[in-house]
Amino acid sequence: MNISIITVGKLKEKYLKQGIAEYEKRLGAYAKIEIIEVPDEKAPEQLSDTEMQQVKQKEGERILAKLHPDAHVIALAIEGKMLTSEQLAENLDKLATYGKSKITFIIGGSLGLSDEVMKRANEALSFSKMTFPHQLMRLVLVEQVYRAFRIVRGEPYHK
């Protein structure tokens, strides 16, 4: 299985880079993983609704340009469906069973994802009703994908 994570913005924090690198290494036994960063749109702190839409639109165009046409796209969005780790594992296993070998997760920027990206997504996934920094979500996501592969294979993993 090929797992891609398209994410807005550069990761700067060393501790997050180290954590992500560890899970990427662990995931190598189960799948090919690729993290694709697209530039975030520079914007002032205070934005009008129109300006917010423009920022999401520009970031969305960059995301869509990186998507493989055959990819099954899972957008991370606060309004998405919440799953347990076991349910995520089951979903990934079903996708593999039905020949969906290219899975792309999308993590938007600080303003979220454009309507166009959400329309392209096959499903929306929420990790919580809380808001998290998108950089931290990279680490949480790669850990959960790793956990999913361990669950599917019946391998031990701490709860």
Tokens of 46: 């205070």
pLDDT number for residue 159: 58
Cβ-based burial of 6 (10 A; exposed 0-12, middle 13-18, buried ≥19): buried
Cα–Cα distances (Å) from 91 to 2, 83, 84, 123, in that order, read: 15, 10, 11, 11
Question: Does the global pTM surpass 0.85?
Answer: yes
Q: What percent of the chain has pLDDT over 70?
A: 99
Task: Quickly state the pLDDT bin for 150 (edges 50, 70, 90).
Answer: very high
pLDDT digits over 12-31, tens only?
A: 999 999 999 999 999 999 99
State phi, psi for 123 to the nearest 5 degrees. Answer: -160, 160
The Cα–Cα gap between 73 and 32 comes to 16
